[in-house]
Amino acid sequence: GAVVSQHPSRVICKSGTSVKIECRSLDFQATTMFWYRQFPKQSLMLMATSNEGSKATYEQGVEKDKFLINHASLTLSTLTVTSAHPEDSSFYICSARDVAGSSSGANVLTFGAGSRLTVL
C-alpha cells in the first residue's frame, strides 16, 4: 500500500531557530499533500494544503510566513517552522493523496508517522 515517510520523527530546538520537516510519498506520486497539527487529546487540525508546483493554501488563522511550505516535486513536501517558539511545540503530521486516487473521489489519505517538535 501507499507509504508516506516523515522526517524527523522528533526534533528539539531552541527558541528562535527554524526547523524543517520533510514529507515524502515513497511509492506513489502526490500532487497534493496536507499538513496537520495535533495537540494532545485534540483533533487533527489542518494547517495547509501543499500543491506541487504552486503556492500552498493555508487555513484561516495559520500564518503563512511562520509555516513555510514547499512542494517542489510529486513526492516531497516540506514544512519549515520559522523562528520557532515554545507555543509551536506540537505534533505535526503530513498526509498525501495518491494521484491515482479513488475512482469515487474520496479523499483517501495516507498519513506519515508524524514529527514531534519541542521548542525550548
Binding residues (CB under 8 A) for other proteins: these are: 4, 6, 32, 34, 41-44, 46, 49, 91, 93, 95, 97, 101, 104-114, 116
In the bound state with other proteins, the residue whose beta carbon lies nearer, of 14 and 41, is: 41
User: In the complex, what is the shortest distance from the CB of residue 12 to other proteins, in angstroms, rounded to a whole number?
Assistant: 15
Q: Indicate the Cα dihedral angle 5, 12, 46, 42, nearest 10°.
A: 110
In the bound state with other proteins, the residue whose beta carbon lies nearer, of 82 and 111, is: 111
The Cβ of residue 44 has, within 10 Å, a number of other Cβ atoms equal to: 15
In the bound state with other proteins, the residue whose beta carbon lies nearer, of 62 and 91, is: 91
In the bound state with other proteins, the residue whose beta carbon lies nearer, of 24 and 97, is: 97
User: In the complex, what is the shortest distance from the CB of residue 3 to other proteins, in angstroms, rounded to a whole number?
Assistant: 11
Q: Indicate the Cα dihedral angle 91, 92, 98, 104, nearest 10°.
A: 70
Rg (CA), the chain: 14
Written as one string, the DSSP assignment of 43-78 is -EEEEEEEETTS--EEPTT--TTTEEEEEEETTEEE
User: In the complex, what is the shortest distance from the CB of residue 116 to other proteins, in angstroms, rounded to a whole number?
Assistant: 7
